[in-house]
Chains A and B, each alone.
Chain A
Amino acid sequence: MRNKIIELIYTSIDELNEQNEADSQLTKTESTIIFGKDSNIDSLGLVNLIVSLEQYVNDEFNVEISLADERAMSQENSPFSTVSTLASYIEELLKTQS
């Protein structure tokens, strides 16, 4: 499941990179920082990534999870910190749903 989730995150990163300038691209590694001080994306970029990813996850696993979570998107130790923490967060949400 985790590999599939990471694949979906990378697909969303591809989409986001198409919207971003050349100097604001996200690399596709598990340690890539998505959200936080050292992130390459701005707040609207994060919103777009989350909305797109939520759709992909819901389509792939046929469950409705909500990633657009205000607290998760604001806190210091956000589950959106890196690709890896985001994958774990989604995995956890999917397990809770099933």
Chain B
Amino acid sequence: MTDQEIYALKNQNLVGKNINLRIANPKDAAFILELRLNPLLNKFIGETDPNIENQKNWINNSYNKTNEFHFIIEDKNGLPFGTIALYDIDYKLGVAEWGRWVLKPGSPVYCSIESNVLVFHLAFDILKLKKLIGGANNENKKVVSFHKSYVSISSVTDKHTWFYVEDSNYKKFLKTFKDFHLIPIKNNIKIS
């Protein structure tokens, strides 16, 4: 995939049934800070610089990287629910990490499922990656439990559970949550 094609992808939304994934832009800085500085949510995520200008710069840097997709999860009217990202993409090896998954309290049930479906769709169906790597703090039990329903576990340490997703895991996820996506066959989610 060329850099031009990657930026073209970044300038489109990934369209799901109830939500879209849109690449974050500097206007999202306040929302992202609000999420990441929320004490209910930031127990299990890395430290966040509270300066809004630094956040805007971080978002711009992320946009400029061809090996990173940092998304805002939003409804069809543009109401933001959270963030999710695909990053450290190694196109040659076909490997990437996914994470930075934060949903604001009270988000609809479908957000958690659809946001992961769309990221996996981007990774496996569009970018043709082979493997995604992720991890979660063991104390973040709900997230660990959610991922355990479909991922393969690579290791568990005192602090973290590390896991990976390959095409077979993706298919299992699609099957379990078949009511939450538009992918009866590959590449059926529209890109607008």
Contact = CB atoms under 8 A, between A and B. Distances in A.
A70 B149 contact: no
Interface stretch (A25-33, A44-52, A82-90): A44-52
A79 to B, nearest CB: 13
Interface in A1-53: 15, 18-20, 42-48, 51-52
A74 B176 CA distance: 17
Nearest to A42: B105
- Please classify how large the interface on chain B is, using the bins under 10, 10 to 19, 20 to 34, 35 or more: 20 to 34
Contacts of B143: 44
Main secondary structure of the interface of B (DSSP, over half): helix
A44 B142 contact: yes
Interface in A50-96: 51-52, 54, 66, 68-71, 73-74
Contacts of A46: 109
A44 to B, nearest CB: 5
B162 interface: no
Nearest to A18: B141
B109 A19 contact: no
Interface of A: 15, 18-20, 42-48, 51-52, 54, 66, 68-71, 73-74
19 contacts: A19-B141, A42-B106, A43-B103, A43-B106, A43-B108, A45-B142, A47-B146, A48-B142, A48-B145, A48-B149, A51-B146, A51-B149, A51-B176, A66-B178, A68-B176, A68-B178, A70-B17, A70-B180, A73-B109
